[in-house]
C-alpha cells in the first residue's frame, strides 16, 4: 500500500495552481529550445504544426494527467496502483520516475549555464567580444569541468530548497512570485527587440509560413517540442494535479496552462528573432542561438548591459520553476512509497540525481568521449527522455484514461461530480481513445524510422 501521510499538502489558490503548473511548463523549453528548433525548421510553418499538436494532442494529454492525478491524489507510481490495482499499469508510473531522473540530470546542467551567463552579464564579461570570441567563450565554458559543475550544484540546491519548503509554502509560493516576474522581464525584452531597426525580418520569419520547409522530421520535432514544452508524458502534471483542490476546473486549467505556455514560447520568439535579424545572424544557428548569439546582440545594443542581465535571469527563473516540478515527481514518489520525510526524500533525490547529473555536466568536457549508442551521456538523457519516454508515456496515459478508466470516471472528474458543464467530453473521449494514440504512434514510428511515409 502507498504510505500517504494523513494530511496531504495541496495548492491553496486558483492562481497558485495556474502559476505552478504554467511554471512547470514554461522553461528552457520555451526560451532556449523553441526559438532554435523553430529556427531550424522553417519558422512560421513549424509554428502552425506545433500549434495544432498542442491543441489536438497536448491539451488532451494534459487533461488526462489531471484526471489521473486529482482522482488518485498520489505520486505518479501510486496513482496507477490506486486506480488500477493488481495490474501492470504502475509500470507507466515507474517509467515516469525514471524519465524524471533523466530530465532533471541534463536539464539542471543547462539551467546551471544560465547562472554563469547571468554572472558574466553582471561583470560585463562579454564586453567587446566578437561573435567568434563569444562562441569560443561558450565552448571553453562548457568544455571545462569545474565551472559547469559548480553551477549545476548551485541550481540543484536552489531547486531542493524550494521543494523542502513544501507544495504550498515552497512550490506555490515561489511560482506566484517568479512567474509574473518572468512575464514582465520577457515583455521588456520584446519591446526592446521589436523596436530595433530591421526587426521586421524576424517577425516575418516567425509568422509567415513557408510550407516547403516542412519534412517528416519537422513533424516529429514539433510533436517532441510540444510534449517537452508542456511537461507532459511523464507524470509531472499527474503529481502536480494530485495537489489540486476538488473545485479546480481541470479542463479550463489545461487550456489556460497550454495557452500560457504557447504564448510565452511565441513571445520568446518575438524577443529573439527580430534581434537576430536586426543584427544579421542566421536564424538556424542551433543550440547556441541563446548562449552565443544573444550576448553578441546585447553587445551591440543600446542598454545591452541591462538587457543581458534581464535575459539570463529570466532564463534561470523559467528553468527553476521547471526543475522543481521534475524534482517533485521523484520526491513525492519517495515520500509516499518509501515512507520518507520530505527532507530525507529531497536529500536522497538530490544526491542520486547528482550522480547522473555530474555525468551529464562532464559530457561536454572530461567525459566527452564516453559514448553509449553514439550519444554522450547528456545527449542520451536528452534524446531518450524527450523523444522516446515522453511520447510513450503520453500514449499510455491517454490509453489509460480512454480505455481503462472509462467515461464515467472521466465525466466525474471533468464536471467535478456533475457541478460543471463540460460539453466537450464526447470530443475529449474520441481524442483520448483514438486520435491521440494513433497520432502519437504514427509520428513516433515514423520518427524512429520504423515506417516510412
Question: Footprint of ligand PHE on this chain (CB under 6 A)?
Answer: 24-25, 27-30, 103, 228-229, 231, 234, 236, 322, 325-326
Closest distance to ligand PHE from the beta carbon of 390 (Å): 7
Separation of alpha carbons 301 and 306, rounded Å = 10
Q: How near is the Cβ of 148 to ligand PHE at its closest, in Å?
A: 19
Q: Do 244 and 338 form a contact (C-beta atoms < 8 A)?
A: no
Pick between residue 90 and residue 227 the one whose CB is nearest to ligand PHE.
227
Identity of the residue, 112 or 296, whose beta carbon is nearer to ligand PHE in the bound complex: 112
Between 69 and 304, whose beta carbon lies closer to ligand PHE?
69
Q: Are 179 and 23 in contact (CB under 8 A)?
A: yes
Minimum Å distance from CB 244 to ligand PHE? 17
Q: How far is the CB of 323 from ligand PHE (least distance, A)?
A: 8
* Strands in 187-235 per DSSP E: none
* CA separation for the pair 23, 260 (Å, rounded): 10
Query: Of the two residues 54 and 410, which places its CB atom closer to ligand PHE in the complex?
Result: 54
The rounded distance, in Å, linking the Cα atoms of 30 and 193 is 17
| Of 246, 235, 254, residue with least CA distance to 325 | 235
How long, in residues, is the chain? 453
Contacts of 322 (CB under 8 A, 6+ apart): 23, 24, 25, 26, 27, 28, 29, 107, 231
Choose between 25 and 410: whose C-beta lies nearer to ligand PHE: 25
Closest residue to ligand PHE, based on beta-carbon distance: 29
Beta bridge partners of 372: 375
Nearer to ligand PHE, 306 or 383 (CB): 383
SS3 category, 355: helix
Distance CA 185, CA 379 (A): 30
3-state per-residue secondary structure call for 365-419? CCCCCCCECCECHHHHHHHHHHHHHHHHHHHHHHHHHHHHHHHHHHHHHHCCCCC
Closest separation in Å from C-beta 395 to ligand PHE: 16
Q: How far is CA 293 from the centre of its chain?
A: 22
Please identify, using beta-carbon distances, which residue of 183 and 306 lies nearer to ligand PHE.
183
Sign of CA dihedral 184, 190, 193, 196: negative
d(CA 236, CA 252): 18
CB of 236 to ligand PHE, least distance (A): 4
**Shortest Å distance, C-beta 34 to ligand PHE:** 8
CB atoms within 10 A of CB 318: 27
Q: Which of 29/39 has CB closer to ligand PHE?
A: 29
Report CA 144 to chain centroid distance, whole Å.
27
Q: Which is nearer to ligand PHE, 92 or 234 (CB)?
A: 234
What is the smallest separation between the CB atom of 76 and ligand PHE, expressed in angstroms? Answer: 11
Q: How far apart are CA 413 and CA 238, in angstroms?
A: 13
Q: Which is nearer to ligand PHE, 27 or 78 (CB)?
A: 27
Question: Which residue, among 115, 30, 29, has the nearest Cα to 316 in the 3D structure?
Answer: 115
Closest distance to ligand PHE from the beta carbon of 226 (Å): 10
- Least distance between ligand PHE and beta carbon 166 (Å): 19
Amino acid at each position: 500500500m502507498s504510505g500517504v501521510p494523513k494530511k496531504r499538502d495541496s495548492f491553496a489558490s486558483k492562481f497558485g495552481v495556474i502559476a505552478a503548473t504554467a511554471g512547470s511548463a514554461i522553461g528552457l523549453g520555451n526560451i532556449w529550445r523553441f526559438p532554435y528548433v523553430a529556427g531550424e525548421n522553417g519558422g512560421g510553418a513549424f509554428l502552425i504544426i506545433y500549434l495544432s499538436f498542442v491543441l489536438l494532442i497536448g491539451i488532451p494529454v494534459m487533461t488526462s494527467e489531471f484526471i489521473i492525478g486529482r482522482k488518485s491524489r498520489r505520486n505518479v507510481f501510486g496513482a496507477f496502483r490506486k486506480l488500477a490495482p493488481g495490474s501492470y499499469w504502475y509500470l507507466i508510473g515507474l517509467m515516469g520516475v525514471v524519465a524524471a531522473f533523466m530530465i532533471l540530470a541534463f536539464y539542471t546542467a543547462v539551467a546551471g549555464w544560465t547562472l554563469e551567463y547571468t554572472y558574466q552579464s553582471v561583470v560585463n564579461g562579454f564586453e567587446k567580444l566578437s561573435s567568434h570570441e563569444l562562441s569560443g567563450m561558450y565552448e571553453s565554458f562548457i568544455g571545462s569541468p569545474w565551472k559547469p559543475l559548480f553551477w549545476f550544484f548551485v541550481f540543484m540546491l536552489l531547486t531542493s530548497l524550494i521543494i523542502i519548503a513544501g507544495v504550498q509554502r515552497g512550490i506555490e509560493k515561489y511560482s506566484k512570485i517568479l512567474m509574473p516576474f518572468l512575464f514582465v522581464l520577457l515583455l521588456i525584452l520584446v519591446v526592446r527587440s521589436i523596436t530595433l531597426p530591421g526587426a521586421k525580418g524576424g517577425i516575418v520569419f516567425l509568422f509567415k509560413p513557408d510550407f516547403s520547409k516542412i519534412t517528416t522530421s519537422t513533424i516529429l520535432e514539433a510533436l517532441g517540442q510540444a510534449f517537452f514544452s508542456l511537461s507532459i508524458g511523464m507524470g509531472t502534471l499527474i503529481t502536480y494535479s494530485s495537489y489540486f483542490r476538488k473545485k479546480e476546473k481541470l479542463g479550463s486549467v489545461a487550456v489556460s496552462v497550454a495557452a500560457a505556455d504557447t504564448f510565452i514560447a511565441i513571445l520568446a520568439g518575438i524577443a529573439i528573432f527580430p534581434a537576430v535579424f536586426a543584427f544579421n545572424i542566421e536564424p538556424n544557428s542551433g543550440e547556441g542561438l541563446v548562449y552565443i548569439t544573444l550576448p553578441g546582440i546585447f553587445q551591440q545594443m543600446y542598454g545591452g548591459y541591462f538587457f543581458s542581465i534581464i535575459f539570463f535571469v529570466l532564463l534561470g527563473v523559467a528553468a527553476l520553476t521547471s526543475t522543481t516540478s521534475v524534482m517533485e515527481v521523484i520526491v513525492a514518489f519517495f515520500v509516499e512509497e518509501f515512507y520518507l520525510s520530505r527532507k530525507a526524500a529531497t536529500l536522497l533525490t538530490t544526491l542520486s540525481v547528482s550522480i547522473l547529473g555530474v555525468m551529464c555536466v562532464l559530457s561536454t568536457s572530461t567525459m566527452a568521449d564516453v559514448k553509449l549508442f553514439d550519444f554522450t551521456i547528456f545527449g542520451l538523457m536528452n534524446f531518450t527522455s524527450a523523444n522516446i519516454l515522453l511520447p510513450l508515456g503520453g500514449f499510455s496515459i491517454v490509453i489509460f484514461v480512454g480505455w481503462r478508466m472509462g467515461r464515467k470516471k472521466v465525466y466525474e472528474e471533468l464536471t467535478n461530480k456533475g457541478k460543471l458543464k463540460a460539453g466537450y467530453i464526447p470530443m475529449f473521449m474520441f481524442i483520448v481513445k483514438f486520435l491521440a494514440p494513433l497520432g502519437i504512434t504514427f509520428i513516433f514510428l515514423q520518427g524512429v524510422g520504423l515506417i516510412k511515409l
